[in-house]
Amino acid sequence: MKALYVADTLQAISVIEEVSNRRRQSMPGISRRKFITGIAVAGSGACVCGLGGCATFTKIGRTPAISAGAYVLGNNKVKIDLIKVPELGKIGGSVKITDSGLSQPIIIARNSEAEYAVVSIKCPHRGVEVEYRHTDKQFRCASLGSSSFAMDGAYKKGIAKKSLSKFNAKLDPLDKNTLIISI
Ligand code: FES
């Protein structure tokens, strides 16, 4: 039991090291010491799930929210005016919709010229937002647990163990600037 405790602790430390290194690399000019201190301060409202679990420093991911006038809800559909969503103008972009009219908040990722993947944005583990990573075409939890999910929301790895909900999305055949999501 004690050996398990130590192993889990070492694993948690290595995950924290890996994530802090990755994030620090994206913040040139910030020393490792300052970065770690920043994490400690930012983590004051954090959820630390426990040994072998996920240590959550951010509950909100980096996915931008869609602008309010860019979509309409109705008849179990979300219709998005893509002209008003510059984030989806390029392949690899993503936005989120957290409208209370939805059964659950969603993330929309443009993964090819005419394909959009739409899944629930809350990680099944502790509800932290997932983010779209176009480099490996997957959704990944923004927490340190870093659970990951395939483009259709299927669970791939990590502590979440469950899949995200998937929603069908297609371009309106009569108007290629309108994306229709069935909810
Ligand atoms: S909230 Fe813990 S892995 Fe996503």
Which pLDDT tens digit goes with each residue over 89-105? 999 999 999 999 999 99
Are 170 and 91 within one domain?
yes
> How high is the mean pLDDT of the chain?
79
CA 102/CA 66 separation, integer angstroms? 14
CA 111/CA 90 separation, integer angstroms? 9
Q: In terms of Cα–Cα distance, which of 47, 69, 61 is closest to 107?
A: 61
Per-residue pLDDT at 147 exceeds 80: yes
Helices (H), 63-148: none
Residue range 10-37: average pLDDT? 45
According to the model, what pLDDT value does residue 18 have? 46
The pLDDT-based confidence of 144 (bands split at 50, 70, 90) is confident
The answer, yes or no, to whether any atom of ligand 1 lies below 6 A from the CB of 143, is yes
Are 140 and 73 within one domain?
yes
Atom of ligand 1 nearest to the CA of 128: 1
CA of 149 to the centre of ligand 1 (A): 11
Atom of ligand 1 nearest to the CA of 160: 3
Residue 114 is encoded by which pair of tokens? 């005419």
Are 28 and 82 within one domain?
no
Are 168 and 95 within one domain?
yes
The pLDDT-based confidence of 167 (bands split at 50, 70, 90) is very high
SS3 content of the chain, % helix, strand, coil (to 5): 25, 30, 45
Atom of ligand 1 nearest to the CA of 146: 3
According to the model, what pLDDT value does residue 140 have? 96
CA 157/CA 24 separation, integer angstroms? 24
Per-residue pLDDT at 8 exceeds 80: no
Cβ proximity of 96 and 66 under 8 Å:
yes
**Out of 9-13, 75-79, 147-151, which region has the weakest mean confidence (pLDDT)?**
9-13
Find all residues with CB under 8 Å of 131, minimum gap 6, and list them: 61, 62, 63, 94, 107, 139, 140, 141, 142
Q: For residue 68, which amino acid is it?
A: A
The answer, yes or no, to whether any atom of ligand 1 lies below 6 A from the CB of 124, is no
Per-residue pLDDT at 123 exceeds 50: yes
CA of 54 to the centre of ligand 1 (A): 6
CA 38/CA 9 separation, integer angstroms? 21
Are 24 and 93 within one domain?
no
The pLDDT-based confidence of 56 (bands split at 50, 70, 90) is low
Q: In terms of Cα–Cα distance, which of 85, 108, 84 is closest to 96?
A: 108
Atom of ligand 1 nearest to the CA of 53: 2
Per-residue pLDDT at 160 exceeds 90: yes
Residue 143 is encoded by which pair of tokens? 């927490």
Indicate the SS3 state at residue 118: strand
* Total domains, the chain: 2
CA of 113 to the centre of ligand 1 (A): 30
Whether 176 is covered by a domain: the verdict is yes
pTM listed for this prediction: 0.73
Residue range 64-85: average pLDDT? 96
Are 26 and 105 within one domain?
no
Query: pLDDT tens digits, residue range 124-142?
Result: 999 999 999 999 999 999 9
The answer, yes or no, to whether any atom of ligand 1 lies below 6 A from the CB of 63, is no
In terms of pLDDT, which residue wins out, 167 or 5?
Answer: 167
Whether 94 is covered by a domain: the verdict is yes
According to the model, what pLDDT value does residue 130 have? 96
Are 81 and 125 within one domain?
yes
CA 15/CA 22 separation, integer angstroms? 11
According to the model, what pLDDT value does residue 53 have? 56
Q: For residue 91, which amino acid is it?
A: I
Are 121 and 76 within one domain?
yes
Tell me which H or E stretch contains 110.
strand 106-110
Domain that holds residue 13: 2-45
